[in-house]
Copies of this chain bind each other. A is one copy, B any other.
Amino acid sequence: MLCRLSRSIRSHRTPAGAHSDRRFSAAPCCANQEPRDYSLPNPTWSPDTKRLYEELSRDQSWMRISSYNTNFHQEGISLEADRKTRLFTRNLDQDGVGFEYCMFYNEAEKRTICIFQPGPYTEGPRGYAHGGCIAAIIDETTATGILLSCRRSVTANLNINYRNPIPLGSTVILDSRVEKVDGRKVYSSCRVRSHDDSVVYNEATALFITSKLEELKAKL
């Protein structure tokens, strides 16, 4: 069962192709607009990114995870409140230049899949994604999986092996799993590979510390 806090970020199942009219908006949400769900396709997504999105949307064992440019909703705070900050992985106004991604969660397997397309503003080595950009999407994917399988948490350790560089504009798949829960410690793994499974880019482990229950209750 998903915990109470995590329910707010689960989306209702959206049939592939049946998206809202807001999906092509490049403007960030503000106090007078309904918040934009960035997990829905936009025209900058490549055919590979869209294909994987549609495949997972059709698969009943996977649940699409809504994604906004803040994580406040995880704390029960209105998405419109205090718009001075932005989630690091959703901080650019223009679609397609930074992090383009959507996530799906498989409750039975405690797995989170992230379909990720790094844009031209995520560059490190010439033509390839920055190591820190890769670390960020690994951190975001593993943290989302832990939120959905356990509860809210903070990163305590990230250990990332970089096997091959990720070309800008390519479509990659992050496959994360909760491996072990030991009290408030949650151990996860994450593997990053090309959309056609031909290249392994990264292998990572992560340790997260979940929030104390009393801290969470105090915020509800």
User: Could you list which residues of chain A lie within 8 angstroms of chain B, going by C-beta atoms?
Assistant: 70-72, 75, 77, 84-89, 91-92, 97-98, 120-127, 129-133, 135-140, 143, 154-162, 165, 168
Of the candidates B88, B156, B158, which one forms a contact with A158 in the assembled complex, judged by CB atoms under 8 Å apart?
Answer: B158
Given A123-B70, A130-B139: A92 touches B89 (CB 8 Å cut-off): no
* Listed residue (A97, A125, A135, A168) with the most chain B CB atoms within 10 angstroms of its CB: A135
Q: Which 4 pairs, one residue from A and one from B, show the smallest C-beta to C-beta distance?
A: A132-B136, A135-B135, A88-B130, A131-B155
- Say how far A14's CB is from chain B's closest CB, in angstroms: 26
Closest to A161 in B: B157
Chain B residues positioned under 8 Å from A160 (CB to CB): 135, 157-159
Chain B residues positioned under 8 Å from A86 (CB to CB): 97, 120-121, 123
- Say how far A140's CB is from chain B's closest CB, in angstroms: 6
Of the candidates B132, B159, B165, which one forms a contact with A138 in the assembled complex, judged by CB atoms under 8 Å apart?
Answer: B132
- Say how far A220's CB is from chain B's closest CB, in angstroms: 15
Chain B residues positioned under 8 Å from A168 (CB to CB): 85
Given A136-B132, A157-B159: A91 touches B121 (CB 8 Å cut-off): yes
| Bound form: Cα–Cα A26–B86 in Å | 19
Chain B residues positioned under 8 Å from A138 (CB to CB): 132
Given A135-B135, A136-B133: A88 touches B162 (CB 8 Å cut-off): no
* 9 cross-chain CB contacts under 8 A: A71-B123, A86-B120, A88-B130, A89-B130, A131-B135, A131-B143, A132-B132, A132-B137, A157-B160
Q: Is the beta-carbon distance between A71 and B154 smaller than 8 angstroms?
A: no
| Bound form: Cα–Cα A70–B123 in Å | 8
Closest to A120 in B: B85
Given A84-B120, A154-B162, A157-B160: A89 touches B125 (CB 8 Å cut-off): no
